[in-house]
Amino acid sequence: MTPYKNRKCKITKRLAEDMLIRHLAEATIDAYTYHVRRFADFIEKPLESATVEDVRTFQLYLIRERKLAYSTFNQAVCALRFLYTHTIRVPWPVVMVPFGKRPKTLPTVLSRHEIDQLIQCTANLKHRTFLMVLYSGGLRFSEAANLKIHDIDSRRMQIRVACGKGKKERLVPLSPRLLSELRIYWKKYRPSDFLFPGKSVNKIYAGTTIQKVMKVSAKKAGIHRRVYPHVLRHSYATGLLEAGVDLLTISKLLGHASFVTTMVYLHCRREHLHSTPSPLDWLPVRQLPTLTPPPENDSDPKKS
């Protein structure tokens, strides 16, 4: 996705400035300017002349032709709503641009044994330490990638997450085992600013790198499900629930705006599923039909 700073269109530049005034994240600005640029190319006329029917046709194009996931589809809708609410005033109501209904799916969760195997099968020290940081604090990838040396407080045994979603800062516990691994990692790589720098000292860790690493490690560990960085966050939250940590505390550790978001992990607890009986087990065994077929009768006149 092209950074918004490299876009030359006057409207997208104005859109980026309106978002900067509201202190929105750079990733959000990049995404919104991308979708607005795609919309402009689709309608092939000035954005100021667009109608609500143009937006509707573009939405159908995203669903039918591009086959976008509804999370990306809704991101495009948010971009257009922001454009025609704050950057360009239009004679038609912006609320007529509808969102798509997202399917509610349960998160992928790995067991403690699978997490252990995944980490053990990651040979590179930097990659392995990064995975341990993701799992030990339930961090998002961007949060872990933006960690700096001074964010690790070994005296208070806390990790300061300064680049949380929505620019919200929070503290998470620092695992003693993780601290030992971080000291080994620091002695080898000697990072000066970012804890996990990318190809250069001033660049953050690339997401594609760790995704490829996790895919290879999962294959070695015999994990046949799709594994990606956010799975470790899901596994962290579910593991805390199974250990008896209350939902509100987990919500604060994850940085959720509402603990209602955290409630999805209630459906992933093993104790929750295993403690629920099946009505089939309540039926008397004598009432179940026999699976043994009746013996054939050789004297049946129809067979003679």
Instruction: Please pick, among 37, 126, 127, 233, the residue that the annotation labels catalytic.
Output: 233
**Catalytic pick from 7, 35, 140, 234?**
140
Active site annotation includes 233: yes
Mean predicted confidence (pLDDT) in 253-260: 87
Please check the confidence at residue 302 and state whether its pLDDT lies above 60: no
The pTM score is 0.79
Q: Looking at the domain 112-271, which fold is it?
A: hpI Integrase; Chain A (1.10.443)
Average pLDDT, the chain: 88
- Active-site annotation holds for 234: no
Task: List the catalytic residue out of 13, 38, 148, 230.
Answer: 230
Residue 26: predicted pLDDT: 87
Check whether 206 has a pLDDT greater than 90: no
* Torsion sign (Cα): 211, 217, 222, 223: negative
Give the residue from 117, 74, 92 showing the smallest Cα distance to 217: 117
In DSSP terms, which residues pair with 194 in a beta bridge?
148
Selected residue with higher pLDDT from 35 and 6 = 35
pLDDT value, residue 199: 83
Domain boundaries in the chain?
4-96, 112-271
Q: Residue 304: what pLDDT?
A: 47
Active site residue 267: no
Q: Which of 165, 219, 236, 270 is catalytic?
A: 165
Longest Cα–Cα distance in the chain? 94
Region 4-96: CATH code: 1.10.150.130
Is 113 known to be catalytic? no
Residue 101's pLDDT is 86
Are 234 and 108 a contacting pair, CB within 8 Å? Answer: yes
Give the C-alpha separation, 130 to 144, whole Å: 8
The mean pLDDT value for 217-233 works out to 95
pLDDT at 264: 84
Q: Are the beta carbons of 16 and 29 closer than 8 angstroms?
A: yes
188 has catalytic annotation: no
Lowest pLDDT segment from 37-51, 120-134, 180-194, 278-292: 278-292
Residue 280 has pLDDT above 80, yes or no: no
The strand pairing partners of 153, in sequence order, are 158
Residue 36's contacts (CB-CB under 8 Å, 6 or more residues apart) are 11, 12, 15, 47, 79, 80, 83
Provide the 8-state DSSP code for 121: T
pLDDT at 203: 83
Q: Is the pLDDT of residue 88 over 60?
A: yes
Angle at 70 between CA 69 and CA 76, to 5 degrees: 100
The torsion angles phi and psi of 148, rounded to 5 degrees, stand at -120, 170
CA distance linking residue 260 with residue 31, whole number of Å = 27
Q: What is the DSSP letter of 172?
A: E
Choose, from 13, 81, 256, 269, the residue flagged as catalytic.
Answer: 256
Among 78-82, 107-111, 284-288, the least confident range: 284-288
